[in-house]
Chain A
Amino acid sequence: MSGKSRSAAANKGRGGGSVLRLPTARIAIVILLGVLVLTFFGSSLAPQDPLKINSNALFQGPSAAHLLGTDYLGRDVLSRLMAGTRLSVLTALEAVGIGLVAGAPLGVATVFFGRTFDFMANRVADALMTLPSIFFAVAVTAALGNGLVQAMFPVGILLIPGFFRITRAATLEFARAQYVEAAELLGGSKLHVIRVHVVRKVFPTVAVSTAIAVGAALLSVSFLTFLGIGVQPPAPTWGGVLSSDLNYLNLAPWAPFIPGALIAITVGALNALADAYRDRTGPGMLLPEADPVIKTHSTLSTTEDADARQPAA
């Protein structure tokens, strides 16, 4: 028991601690913490009422009274974006949660529980992957009713095969390792071996994919809200702010850049954090099956290599 917790602590020290030493990771974490604060306290922190219409201040540029300007009804853009954070972030997390909870355990399980199960799961994953998520999300709102929670449900379902594939590939890599074999020979039960020797190794890969998936889900949410799916008009969302800006480009061409930048910075921070974590913990490539193998080993020694380069330079 004590040995187990010690190795867990060591793992944590190597993974979590050292990521923070990278400046990009620190910036990314600060940005993400900011977004998280906005998620929970956005509407109470907002300087003005996001729904208050002011016909004397339409299409204003950034000023002291309105830090990010006003929209076509004179509403404060900053307040609308702050208040809109909660729905966007929470529904993105909903989708990723579905994908992660259903996909990752399945990915580990298929490796250990027989070839028939593995085959079936892979075919279902293939089938799900043919459904384009945005089309599917819009279609589901037709069936289940117009709401963002409903719309992001299928997006989560369609994230399952991705998580499944990535976890499965990572598990395959470790399942054949000698220490797993040794643990099995020592009489460790299947569940014990999986829990102690495999899950911990697979974790970094899944963590990286989760961060990237949250970014992708945020893009999906903002796109769905941009299309006007799942929200009643006065309620603010990131995508909704963008789509109303689109109608008044002639009057306020700068306006869409503000919500656009907010989305891009958040997604960029998630990607940067994923990259930093991957650099530090070094899990394999994200989608191994996507790349046909090319032989990448140069058999030249470094001096030969330098010689070979000379004539071209």
Chain B
Amino acid sequence: MMAVIELTSAELANTGGAIAPRRRRARVAAARVGGGIGVLLPILVLSSFITYSLGALSNSNPAATILGQDAATPAAVAHLNHVLGLDKPLIVQYWDWLSRAVRGNLGTSYFSQIPVSQSIAQRLPVDLSIAILAVILAVILGGTTGTIAAVRRGGWFDRGLTIVCSAVSTLPAFVVGIILVVIFAVTAHLLPANGYMGPAQGIGPWLEHIILPALALALQVAADIARQLRTSLVSVLEQNYITGARVRGLPWRRILVRHALRNAAGPALVILGNDFPIMLAGAVAAEAVFSLPGLGQLLLNAAESRDIPVVQGLLLVVSTFVVVVNLVVNTVLAWLYRSSEGVGT
């Protein structure tokens, strides 16, 4: 993240000069995205290598496992190893795997023979719908509570929020999830306690099944956002330009939304970007609590049966996701703060 920002500020300095402002801005934006990709691509290659070597590190013998005890004669194992490409040097195996992965082929499961990309694609919507709903809930919850706390600084709401936030940050998502199940499903019988229905079977049932997991995930992020937003909003509200806007008689609501919130939202957005990996881990937790058929369950099953291609594929997809989300958040941030100096230095 630092790297992206460092790089872009260097480029900002380089591209100044005679070009027309609008074109210059477009060029800077392109350089920013390009630079981001330029830095993140090697990172992805490195992390995918770490991921891939995991499989090689394991002293499991996939050929023997696949063949089963009876058929695993040394000759058969050697033949299967050759077919699977496991007899080549690690770096060659990695290169083969990566070049296939870039084209969308993550290999096939050792056991079910289902293509890894297919089983990931099947389960991704579950986690995505939970994560996206969780982001929306976190922004709404954290945004409103943080704003109210900052505006009514020192009031009972502000103090209460501080306490609630520190309590929530000690509770992992899976404990929050269990508490939500106890409250909404077991005690109040309002929502289903587990299971999943795709949006194809109706928006209502779909929302019913994902709202609790999403809420369990959202609470922690919402607490982070609320805390961060409160801190930065308090300091922004003390600025001269806010006082100036008040003196000029601008409506309070307009001052808050257009002038204060826009400038205070940056750190909270960074939090949202940073928390995304935590959210993915949380999605695994939510799947376990609410028994949803998502990526986490796929990973757990694959880990248990030592289905290395599935594990490698999943890690690659998930870390790519994290990197892309970071890039998007950075770009959005840079765009939001394009005119202010001092950002990211």
Contact A289 B172, CB 8 Å, known A131-B51, A138-B303, A294-B263: no
Question: Could you tell me if B240 and A293 are in contact, using CB atoms closer than 8 angstroms?
Answer: no
Query: Of the candidates B172, B280, B333, which one forms a contact with A222 in the assembled complex, judged by CB atoms under 8 Å apart?
Result: B172
Contact across chains for A131 and B303 when beta carbons are under 8 A apart: no
Also in contact, A292 and B171, with CB within 8 A (given A253-B186, A268-B166, A311-B246): no
Partner of A135, one of B166, B174, B314: B314
| B122 interfacial by beta-carbon distance below 8 Å | no
Pick the contact of A227 from B44, B300, B345 — CB < 8 Å? Answer: B300
Interface size classification for chain A = 35 or more
Interface centre among B44, B58, B185, B308 (most CB of A within 10 A): B58
Q: Tell me whether A136 and B315 are in contact in the complex, defined as CB-CB below 8 angstroms, given that A223-B285, A294-B263 are known contacts.
A: yes
On whether A142 and B3 interact (CB within 8 A), knowing A130-B47, A226-B174, the answer reads no
CA distance in complex: A219, B304 (Å): 22
* Interfacial chain B residues near A256, Cβ < 8 Å: 175, 178-179, 182
Q: Are B186 and A250 in contact (CB under 8 A)?
A: yes
Could you tell me the distance in whole angstroms from the C-beta of B239 to the nearest C-beta in chain A?
6
In the docked arrangement, what's the CA distance between A54 and B58, Å?
41
Task: Write out, one digit per residue, whether chain A residues 123-151 have a CB within 8 A of any chain B CB (1) or not (0).
Answer: 11011111111111011111110100000
Task: Tell which of A12-20, A41-49, A296-304 binds the partner.
Answer: A296-304
- The CA-CA distance from A139 to B264 in the complex, in Å, is 39
Q: Least Cβ distance of A129 to chain B in Å?
A: 8
Q: Provide the bound-state CA to CA distance between A264 and B174, in Å.
A: 12
Residue A260 CB within 8 A of the other chain: yes
- Determine how close the nearest CB of chain A comes to the CB of B55; give it in whole angstroms: 6
Whether, in the assembled complex, B274 has its beta carbon less than 8 Å from a beta carbon of chain A, the answer is yes
Residues B231-271 near A (CB distance < 8 A): 232, 235-236, 238-240, 243, 246-247, 252, 263-264, 266-267, 270-271
CB of B134 closer than 8 Å to a CB of A = no
Residues of A within 8 A of B186 (CB): 249-250, 253
Within 8 A of A (CB), among B282-297: 284-285, 288-289
Task: Say yes or no: is A82 at the interface (Cβ < 8 Å to chain B).
Answer: no
Measured CB to CB, the nearest residue on chain A to B266 is A292
- Is B323 a contact of A130 with CB atoms below 8 Å? yes
> Contacting chain A: which of B81-89, B112-120, B205-213, B336-344?
B336-344
The interface of chain B, by Cβ under 8 A from chain A, is: 1-3, 39, 42-44, 46-47, 50-51, 54-55, 57-58, 60, 166-167, 169-172, 174-175, 178-179, 181-182, 185-187, 193, 232, 235-236, 238-240, 243, 246-247, 252, 263-264, 266-267, 270-271, 274, 277-278, 280-281, 284-285, 288-289, 299-300, 302-304, 306-308, 311-312, 314-315, 318-319, 322-323, 326, 333, 337, 342-345
Query: What residues of chain A have their CB less than 8 Å away from a CB belonging to chain B?
Result: 122-124, 126-136, 138-144, 146, 215, 219, 222-223, 226-227, 229, 242-243, 245-246, 249-250, 253, 256-257, 260, 263-265, 267-268, 271, 289-296, 298-300, 305, 308, 311-312
